[in-house]
Amino acid sequence: MLLVNLAGLALIALIVWWFWLYRPPEAALADEAVEITVENGVYQPARLRVAPQKTVTLRFLRKDESPCAETVIFPDLDISTSLPVGKPTTVQLPPLEPGEYTFHCQMQMYRGVVKVDSESG
């Protein structure tokens, strides 16, 4: 019983770490176009900062052949795009209000965020 509880606690700790504490180290200031590499389970860079009301073009270059990496989804923006391996794919973001817009693969293993705030303008 104790063992089960410990395993449960460890799992909770892992979930907390993954969803709330873990922050990918990369932060990029996005101008008009940014290239994002899709490889080894991470978007590179995974955190983008852009100014509000500015159109931004993201060029995804997928190097990971696993089906996990195939689709990139921006749930808040109704964007879902298939990424062919080795071929840069452009995703155009509309002008955005300040806030955070996550993007991820269909299983949410790859995860990234576009942060829109006026300080980066």
Of 19, 15, 105, 14, which Cα lies nearest the Cα of 67? Answer: 105
What is the Cα–Cα distance from 36 to 34, expressed in whole angstroms? 6
Give the number of other CB atoms < 10 A from CB of residue 61.
Answer: 16
Closer CB to Cu ion, 81 or 120, in the complex: 81
First and final CA of the chain: distance in angstroms? 55
Closer CB to Cu ion, 62 or 115, in the complex: 62
CB of 110 to Cu ion, least distance (A): 5
Closer CB to Cu ion, 29 or 107, in the complex: 107
What are the beta bridge partners of residue 90?
Answer: 59
Closer CB to Cu ion, 104 or 115, in the complex: 104
Q: Residues 92-111: x/- map of binding to Cu ion (CB under 5 A)?
A: -------------x-x-x--
6 binds Cu ion (CB under 5 A): no
Do the beta carbons of residue 80 and residue 71 sit within 8 Å? Answer: yes
What number of residues does the chain have? 121
Which 54-93 positions form the footprint of Cu ion (CB under 5 A)?
Answer: 68
Q: Given the rule CB under 5 A, which residues bind Cu ion?
A: 68, 105, 107, 109
